[in-house]
C-alpha cells in the first residue's frame, strides 16, 4: 500500500523553497490576519507530526511544545486553523451529550428522556461543526475561563445570569495556552479539572450550571522562564522539544518565508491553498477512520515493553502512546496499528515521564516496607 499524502507531507522536506523561487513580486501592503500556512513551516517535523496526530485523535491528550523563543511554536499552532476537522456537537439541553450514535449502539436508554422524545419526532440530536482554535490569554481571570455572572444583566434587570467561560466554549475544540508555565495557578487548576473530567460546574450563590468541556489541550512554553508542575505536565499527552533549525539553508528559508508572510500573507496562503485543502481532506479522512483502528498484539507487546523498561509509573503514558499510534495508523489509511506506529510516536508520548525523584522515593519506601514486614513476621512467629 502506498504511503498516504498526510504522512508523506510530514516526512518529506517542506515545499517552501519552490514557492519562494516562484514568488518574484511582493505586495507591500499590510497583512489582514491570514494564518501562516502550515505547509510553509520549514523543518520541525516532530512538532508537525505531534500537532496533526492530536487533532486526528483528541484522546491522545493534546501536545506541549517546549522550546526557546522564536522557534515557531505559536505560529505552528495557529497555522492549524485551515486544517482542523469537523466534529460532532450534541444539542442536548440537559448536558448529557446525547447523540444519534449512542441510540444506534445502545438504544433509547442511552440518551435522556428529552432527547429520546426529539429522536422520536425525527429532530436532530447533533450538528457537525468545524473544530476551532480557541486561545487562552495569559492575563485571563478565573471568571473568564470558567464563566461568571453577567454584570450588565445584573445591573440593568437585577437578574443573575451565568455566562459561559472559555472552557465551555472550547468543548470539542482546540484550546491553546501560550506560555502555559506562566499562567496563574488557580486558572490552570480549573483547566486541569475540566480536562480530566470532560466537564466542570460553576457555582455563584444559589445558581450553578455544569458545562461540557472536552478539548484538545495544546500548550507552549520557554523552559528559560520556568517549569511546569508535574501534575500539569502529566496532562499533556505528547511532548515536543522544539529546537532552532540546524541547517543554514533552512534557517534562511524560514527567514524568507517570514518576510514574505509579513509583506503579503494572502499571496503566500494562495501558493499553498491547493496543498492545504488536500492535507485538510487527509486529516478528515484519518479522523473518520480512527474509530475502526485497533492496536495489534505485536504493537501492544512492543509498547508495554518500552514503558516497562523506561520504568514509567503514570498510566497516561500508555494512553498517549497507543492513542497516538492509532492516529498514526489512521493517517496512513490503515485500521491496524503496528509496532512501527508505536515506535514512530513513543518518544513523543514518553518524553519527560521518567521521574528520578519518584524512583528514589519508591526505593527508600521498599527498604522501609521490608523492615516493617520483618518486624510483623517476627511478631507472628512469637
Helix (H, G, I), strand (E, B) or coil at 65: strand
Specify the pLDDT at position 342: 94
Q: Tell me how many degrees the CA angle 173-46-64 measures, rounded to the nearest 5.
A: 45
pTM greater than 0.85 (yes/no): no
Specify the pLDDT at position 15: 47
Q: What is the pLDDT of residues 128-150, one digit of tens each?
A: 888 888 888 878 888 788 876 65
Backbone angles phi, psi at 107, to 5 degrees: 85, 180
Looking at residues 41-58, what average pLDDT do you find? 92
Q: What is the pLDDT of residues 186-241, one digit of tens each?
A: 888 888 888 878 777 777 666 667 777 788 889 999 988 888 887 788 888 999 99
Comparing 20-29, 65-74, 135-144, the range with the smallest average pLDDT is 20-29
Looking at residues 65-73, what average pLDDT do you find? 90
C-alpha cell at 107: 438504544
316 tagged catalytic: yes
Looking at residues 351-364, what average pLDDT do you find? 74
Q: Outline where DSSP puts E strands in 183-258.
A: 199-204, 207-212, 216-221, 238-242
Specify the pLDDT at position 32: 45
Helix (H, G, I), strand (E, B) or coil at 189: helix
Helices (H), 272-312: 273-289, 297-310
C-alpha cell at 207: 445558581
Polymer length of the chain = 382
Looking at residues 159-167, what average pLDDT do you find? 69
Task: Please state, in angstroms and rounded to a whole number, the distance separating the CA atoms of residues 91 and 211.
Answer: 13
Instruction: Kindly name the residue from 78, 214, 316, 334 that is annotated as catalytic.
Output: 316
Looking at residues 152-171, what average pLDDT do you find? 66
Amino acid at each position: 500500500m502506498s504511503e498516504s499524502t498526510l504522512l508523506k507531507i510530514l516526512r518529506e522536506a517542506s515545499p517552501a523553497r519552490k514557492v519562494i523561487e516562484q514568488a518574484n513580486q511582493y505586495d507591500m501592503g499590510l497583512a489582514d490576519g491570514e494564518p501562516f500556512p502550515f505547509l510553509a513551516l520549514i523543518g520541525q517535523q516532530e512538532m508537525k507530526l505531534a500537532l496533526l496526530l492530536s487533532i486526528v485523535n483528541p484522546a491522545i491528550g493534546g501536545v506541549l511544545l517546549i522550546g526557546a523563543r522564536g522557534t515557531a511554536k505559536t505560529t505552528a499552532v495557529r497555522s492549524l486553523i485551515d486544517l482542523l476537522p469537523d466534529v460532532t456537537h450534541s444539542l442536548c439541553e440537559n448536558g448529557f451529550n446525547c447523540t444519534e450514535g449512542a441510540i444506534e449502539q445502545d438504544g433509547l436508554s442511552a440518551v435522556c428522556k428529552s432527547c429520546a422524545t426529539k429522536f422520536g419526532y425525527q429532530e436532530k440530536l447533533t450538528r457537525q461543526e468545524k473544530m476551532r482554535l480557541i486561545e487562552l490569554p495569559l492575563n485571563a481571570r478565573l471568571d473568564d475561563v470558567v464563566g461568571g455572572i453577567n454584570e450588565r444583566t445584573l445591573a440593568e434587570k437585577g437578574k443573575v445570569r451565568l455566562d459561559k467561560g472559555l472552557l465551555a466554549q472550547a468543548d470539542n475544540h482546540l484550546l491553546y495556552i501560550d506560555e502555559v508555565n506562566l499562567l496563574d495557578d488557580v486558572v490552570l487548576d480549573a483547566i486541569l479539572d475540566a480536562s480530566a473530567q470532560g466537564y466542570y460546574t460553576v457555582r455563584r450563590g444559589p445558581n450553578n450550571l455544569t458545562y461540557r468541556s472536552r478539548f484538545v489541550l495544546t500548550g507552549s512554553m520557554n523552559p528559560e522562564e520556568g517549569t511546569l508542575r508535574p501534575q500539569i505536565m502529566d496532562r499533556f499527552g505528547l511532548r515536543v522539544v522544539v529546537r532552532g533549525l540546524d541547517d543554514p539553508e533552512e534557517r534562511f528559508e524560514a527567514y524568507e518565508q517570514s518576510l514574505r508572510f509579513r509583506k503579503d500573507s494572502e499571496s503566500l496562503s494562495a501558493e499553498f491553498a491547493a496543498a492545504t485543502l488536500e492535507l485538510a481532506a487527509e486529516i478528515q479522512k484519518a479522523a473518520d477512520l480512527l474509530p475502526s483502528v485497533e492496536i495489534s498484539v505485536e504493537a501492544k507487546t512492543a509498547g508495554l515493553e518500552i514503558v516497562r523498561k523506561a520504568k514509567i509509573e503514570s498510566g497516561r503514558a500508555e494512553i498517549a502512546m497507543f492513542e497516538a499510534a492509532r492516529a498514526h495508523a489512521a493517517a496512513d489509511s490503515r485500521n491496524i496499528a503496528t509496532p512501527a506506529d508505536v515506535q514512530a510516536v513513543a518518544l513523543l508520548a514518553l518524553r519527560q515521564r521518567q521521574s528520578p525523584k519518584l524512583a528514589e522515593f519508591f526505593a527508600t519506601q521498599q527498604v522501609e516496607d521490608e523492615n516493617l514486614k520483618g518486624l510483623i513476621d517476627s511478631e507472628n512467629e512469637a
